[in-house]
Structure 1
């Protein structure tokens, strides 16, 4: 399975959206260079408030560009970086990946998938009603989170729009993603 990077985004300050960049640099064990969420321990404010010593399993946020078309059909304009992601992808079923999947981004960088982004109320502050579009229920009534996935940097490198993404599934049975 493979896909592509369609946009990269980062922000040195806490804000919901992140501006698009020509490139980002992933730093092994830390995240996106210069991004407010980079670090060995948690940086998301809600997580820091709970326990600032927790490991940062949310170093890199990836979201599938196809979600923008889905919410666009319901009247919500969303572009790359608007939901705070660092890497916008196309052509990959990010939500269907197994925990532990390695994503090879471009020529060097490798991100290990840790879990699903847990969408928060900030999404409704960005666009009223959007939260209901990125969190739903499947046919069995189970909660479905669609606002992307999180990962940690296993090998650093520069990532640019247009870079290929190669998926390396982990050994063993599929482990469905859960929120991190």
Structure 2
């Protein structure tokens, strides 16, 4: 986006802040620019440049009928999408992922894309937390589970899968249960 001096964004920043923006020589292979101007205008120019650079963050959630229903609801669009847009200036979009992964070829995912100016990067984790909290309130699974009753299973269970190697990772367990601990 900020490849050269003839960019309209750069020209606009230079005209409105009366700063000079210098790009490094391509042969130096540097990834920064220099802003020269008054002490008051340089932070303003940097802020304008940061607002013009759009960044993107994507994550995937296992697709389900419940997830599809939630995403299409007006409640989700108001309480999540609009809330994040207004409060954090982050745009949330979602779409089904048609690309199969090698790990689980039969599993379908929903991709969530968050687009935001670089200046809003510090709010990205808060926006993601809003999305995850909303899905957890509506009991949408956020990860892949191979059991139907995965929600009823206690998370504090572990099994020694290396017992036949005389594992030093876990203390020895009886062969009948195979359980290391259970709470």
TM over 0.5: no
Give the structure with the larger helix fraction: 2
TM-score normalised according to structure 2 size: 0.26
| TM-score normalised to structure 1 length | 0.26
The structure where strand makes up a greater share of residues is: 1
